[in-house]
Structure 1
Amino acid sequence: MKKILTLSLIAFSSVLYADFSQQEFVYKDPRVMGMGSANTAVGGYSSAVFYNPAGLINIKKSHGIEVELLGLSVAASQKMQDFANDLSDAADTENSEDISKVLQDYSGEAFNITVANYSSVSYHTEDDLAWSVGLLASGDINLLPHANSGNAGLLEAHGRAYSGLQLGVAQNFGEVLPGLPGELTIGVGAKFISQKSYDASLDVAEIDANSDDLAQYLQDTYEVDNSGFAVDLGVLYAPFPSDYWNPTIGLSVMNIGTLNFDDAYGAQPLSVNLGVSVSPKTEYADFIIAVDYVDALGSQQALVYDSQSAKYISSDISYEVLRHLRAGVSAQVLDNSWATLTLNGGLYQGAYTMGVDFQLTVLKLQAATYQEQLGGEMGQLEDRRYVVGLGIGW
């Protein structure tokens, strides 16, 4: 039974992708997550299209056409490996009570595996127009064991697999109005996303009864297909662009369109995000300090299991300021024609983040850690995650 169950879970995790947490953004760049996910007033990468398309204007002109041929990232929860090993060992005994014991031992802990790839081509022209075209393929699986097989079973599995095309363009218009200082940049993005989502509440009997092909059972029983189109709007305003601190104010309105997916798991509601940043340059490093307030209107919702309908339904999330707050610091300590090195740190949903971004000619390496708030209230269910990224580009 061990081989059958383990193979089924591997297949299950390869097609089930989700995120318990708020989903203000379609994609989470490891470089941005290490900086507390504060990017509304920053940008500078092709992934700016997922936070504020106006941020494309901060891609360096000196880089010419930027190609990210591979932008692979893998993230996992702190104890995911231990949980997978113990569950596999329990399956080896062919005793459902051993499986129940493992699920009870890990009750109240959340487990996540995420795999994503974003490949893109971007360019900042001499006319202060920046554009980006990208392809996204991403997904993850989230598992939540329970001590007792109640309404939600002994094991909740939530997931989605999704892919899509992402377009973005940003134009710097110089001074806002005659006599008014500062520079205004307006960005517009568009994306088409197709996904398969899953929500399952499993007990041991259900796992045992379908252990010969658990992945196929889950697909046949729980799979939901959706697709949608959305437009993103963004603004950057730099009141004193020549100042040492270069303060910048950002505003983005993301996911205007049909990405609600009939409230299925993985839905992307409209999100309004605000941000401020400063970017002083010193003798030792180029710094960026940023603070964001994301999903200001509180559009995000959680999915909860309704025992009467035996389905997951949308439920409001308590509006807590700290859940919406992002803050980060980035220090580029090395930047030459061969290599760049950037160190990041920040605060994300009340917990610390750290990250490093190293580029050597065409090879790009990133690592970061952050913590998701998964429950309806802060502190109810937390998941510390670690992510590594590998990129090839120029």
Structure 2
Amino acid sequence: MIRRPDSLKTFLQAGALAGLCALALLQAPKQAIAGPSGVAGTALFQQFPLLYQGVLVEGMGGAFTAVADDSNAPFYNPAGLDNIQSSSFQILNISADISYPSLYPTLYNGVSGAGNNNQNYINAFSSVAGQSLYARVGDYSNYTTHDFAIGLLSNNQMLGVANASPTTTNLGSLAALSDSGVVISGAYGFFNHHLQVGGTLMGLYQMFENIPSLSKTQASALSSTLSDNLSYGFGLVGNLGAIYHFDLPLNPTLGASILNVGTANFGNAGSLPQLINAGVGIDPDIGFGRLLADIDYVDVTNYLYYTGDSLWLHTRFGVQYQFPEILTVSAGLYEGYPTFGVGIDLWAVEVNASYYTEEASPVPGLNPDHIVSLQVAFGWM
């Protein structure tokens, strides 16, 4: 049981967390003025701004800022490493996301027989007009223990969007992002672990592909089009986070994180803008298993134009229940859409699956992109 801090410690703890939030908010004017460009201006980044998405986290609505407590913490809130009380070594940790139902079969069948006919291309893209296709595959092999994590990351994602009114000069858009490199993360608990702070440093090689208006000519020679539009570069990415545990019923927590601190630059591959998230969670002692709940407000400084002024698009909510052995189940709300997740941990093999929906427009409910995710990890968990 965590001891209740005295009044001086409470003041210092609250001040430290407030200082982190103040540091984050000082960046707001710069972000509000700068318009998104490069990677940041693509629908891919606007909808999927994280360098790595945890499948279990997706199942609980993507809400993790105030309750981070596993190997996903370096990417959401590295302070959560201080909540981990055991060690795990995931030698291979593969995960994948895909839109469902996929527009790919319909589009492929239409384009494969299009020949060099302009109208055939227009008809093929018109059959999926306005629809999105998201796909991701990645591996985060890592060693994670109390207050420390190190791993090798490879995360590859793409988003294709068919134009609502396809023409020969604008059939749709395509963006892809690939990141690979080393991840090192650490955390520390102060005042008997009431206040936790953490940081992540990533050295990543990034490849970026962006075709905002795919023409019929480009689509008919897609391989060379992709090669001509590829850019790449190396950059350093930093994340900072803090979590505060209150001595109150239900064990409430308050969390804040700054992702891509100070903006991460990858040269010709563009840059990743700084994003700020905040959350409130609970971790009650229920006597059998473990229950977590969290509600996040993401993109506090409103950098992502997709979130706009919509409270729904800023909000993540989730609940996760971990049985004493093997099974974990979760549910939540992601941008107003329901999410579900399930995980099975057999010590040497871990399998997680989730379902969530990404809003593919700045208007909630207008263009839902349903996504299924699967993760399979081998090692010692």
TM-score scaled to structure 1, two decimals?
Answer: 0.79
The one-letter code of the counterpart of 1:35 is M
Q: Is the 8 A contact 1:293 1:324 kept in 2?
A: yes
Does 1:218 find its partner at 2:226? yes
Mapped partners of 2:74, 2:203: distance in 1? 13
- Alignment-derived partner of residue 332 in structure 1: 322
Mapped partners of 2:49, 2:209: distance in 1? 19
Does 1:248 find its partner at 2:273? no
1:8-87 matches, within 5 Å, as 19=44, 21-60=46-85, 63=86, 65-80=87-102, 83-87=103-107
2:367 corresponds to which of 381, 386, 391: 381
1:88 corresponds to which of 77, 99, 108: 108
RMSD over aligned Cα, in angstroms?
2.4
Instruction: Give 5+ residue unaligned stretches, structure 2.
Output: 1-41
1:1-394 matches, within 5 Å, as 19=44, 21-60=46-85, 63=86, 65-80=87-102, 83-95=103-115, 96=117, 97-124=119-146, 130-150=147-167, 153-175=170-192, 183-200=194-211, 201-208=213-220, 210=221, 214-220=222-228, 222-240=229-247, 245-261=250-266, 267-301=271-305, 318-335=308-325, 340-394=326-380
> What is the percent sequence identity of the aligned residues?
28
Q: Is the 8 A contact 2:352 2:375 kept in 1?
A: yes
The one-letter code of the counterpart of 1:88 is Y
Q: Is the 8 A contact 1:290 1:327 kept in 2?
A: yes
Shift of 1:363: 0.4
Shift of 1:380: 4.1
1:96-130, Cα deviation, whole Å (9 max, x unpaired):
34443221011011111110111111121xxxxx1
Q: Is the 8 A contact 1:234 1:250 kept in 2?
A: yes
**Residues 293, 18 of structure 1: CA spacing in aligned structure 2 closer, same or farther, 3 A cutoff?**
closer
SS, match of residue 297 in structure 1: coil
**Residues 260, 298 of structure 1: CA spacing in aligned structure 2 closer, same or farther, 3 A cutoff?**
farther
More moved, 92-101 vs 383-392: 92-101
Mapped partners of 2:204, 2:367: distance in 1? 28
Residues matched between the structures, number: 336
Shift of 1:365: 0.4
SS, match of residue 28 in structure 1: coil
Mapped partners of 1:151, 1:57: distance in 2? 54
Mapped partners of 2:101, 2:287: distance in 1? 41
Extract structure 1 runs of 4+ deviating beyond 4 A: 260-265
Instruction: Give 5+ residue unaligned stretches, structure 1.
Output: 1-16, 125-129, 176-181, 303-316
The one-letter code of the counterpart of 2:277 is N
Shift of 1:150: 4.6
SS, match of residue 272 in structure 2: coil
SS, match of residue 343 in structure 1: strand
Q: Is the 8 A contact 1:245 1:278 kept in 2?
A: yes
TM-score scaled to structure 2, two decimals?
Answer: 0.81
SS, match of residue 285 in structure 2: coil
- Alignment-derived partner of residue 305 in structure 1: none
Shift of 1:23: 4.2
Mapped partners of 1:139, 1:331: distance in 2? 30
SS, match of residue 224 in structure 2: helix
Shift of 1:84: 2.3
Q: Is the 8 A contact 1:231 1:255 kept in 2?
A: yes
Mapped partners of 1:275, 1:154: distance in 2? 40
